[in-house]
Amino acid sequence: MRIQRRLDTPRWLVVAVPAASLVAAIAATAIVLLAAGKDPIATYARLFDRAFIEPGSLSNTMITATPLLLTGLAAAAAFRMRLWNIGAEGQLYLGAVGASGAGLLLRDQPGPVIIAGMILGGLLFGAGWAVIPGLLKAFFNTNEIITTLMLNYVAGLLLTYLIFGSRSFWRDLSTFSARAFPQGKPLPAAAMWPSLDLSVVVLPFGFVLGVLAAALLWWLYRSTIFGLQARILGDSPPAARYAGVKTRRVVVTMMALSGALAGLGGASEVGDFRHVLDPRGLQQAGLGYAGIVVAALGRYNPFSVVLVAFLLGGLANAGYSLQGPGFPAGLVGVLQGMILFFALGGELLIHYRISLPVPFGERGLSRQ
């Protein structure tokens, strides 16, 4: 088997391969299900039903898809220039801290002010957390994969500490039961984020923001100096240095942007859905890591990320709501992993051409 790098990729292949990998992943997971004695077709039917068909399911899917969209964009923004920001998880936590803090501080202000403050809090805290590994990378060339990863854990510990390990501002100390069983201070009613009711589906505010962010990101990469410089840097660092791109500035700015998006995801979790700082819930959800999956499947294109977030949101939504003895939680991860494996494998076909070995005796004619 010969493998040669393709010079040019035919258009149809770029669409066909992800589609084929999706089919392959579904088939492979079906085998896992069969091995566990479950009926794959019934399981898939229930998943699909619960994700998209049942009344109210689309709106529920949107709820799960929103954070995935934002962390997906966060990952896509950074990964597109080969900046491996694995820290969306921690940046999301910090964003939640910032947003809930702002929401509590501004509790006596009118609604729009609180919400604006929460958005700002989410963006700033998320960006700030991402800037740390960004600076380390820019000035010390420290590998961002490990630093962002490590900071995820520090962020998780910080989150836990704020509610379970201390008597901080975020913690609800108003009632006896709240003091005995640690929980976050609930946000005021005015801090609830609005939603867009399109009759067939209800879009959370965070989702709307996400779509706007996707358009902005697309435009940024395509039509701004910063975007061009980011692409040059991601493509060839020596060329970027040669072209006079201020590498450090671009790296730190992109990390900040990526972190801000993840932080916005955290703000949305608080403002759209939880209305309180919930360390356990946030840490269990693994939204930051899931965002990387979304970004990878969307091949780092912001609009594809929207679509993939919607699809994976449906899967996650169905998975969580169906959870129970008949439907173990681990299934979601298995299916997500499978999809990603096949998508990764499919990438090979997009970038390389595979030719089969030439039959014996026909050496003079090498087939491609």
| Options 145, 202, 307, 350; binder of another protein; rule CB under 8 A | 145
Residues 277-336 that bind another protein (CB under 8 A): 286, 289-290, 292-293, 296, 328-334, 336
| Options 199, 225, 359, 361; binder of another protein; rule CB under 8 A | 225
Residues 156-215 that bind another protein (CB under 8 A): 157-158, 160-161, 165-166
As a whole number of angstroms, the distance between CA 340 and CA 271 comes to: 30
* Smallest gap from residue 144 Cβ to another protein (A): 10
Note whether 22 and 338 are within 8 A (CB). no
3 binds another protein (CB under 8 A): yes
Note whether 40 and 29 are within 8 A (CB). yes
As a whole number of angstroms, the distance between CA 108 and CA 162 comes to: 23
Two structure tokens written together for 81: 């220039």
13 binds another protein (CB under 8 A): no
User: How many residues of this chain bind another protein (CB under 8 A)?
Assistant: 75
- Choose the binding region for another protein from 12-20, 112-120, 187-195, 347-355 (rule: CB under 8 A): 347-355
40 binds another protein (CB under 8 A): no
Residue type, 13: L
Q: Which of 227, 256, 23 lies closest to 137, judged by CA?
A: 256
364 binds another protein (CB under 8 A): yes
- 93 or 205, CB closer to another protein? 93
As a whole number of angstroms, the distance between CA 145 and CA 134 comes to: 11
Helix or strand run (H / E) with residue 5: strand 2-5
- 56 or 325, CB closer to another protein? 325
For residue 323, CA distances in Å to 43, 66, 147, 320, 330 come to 12, 20, 34, 5, 9
* Smallest gap from residue 133 Cβ to another protein (A): 8
26 binds another protein (CB under 8 A): no
Question: Residue 44, CB half-sphere, CA atoms under 13 Å: how many?
Answer: 15
30 binds another protein (CB under 8 A): no
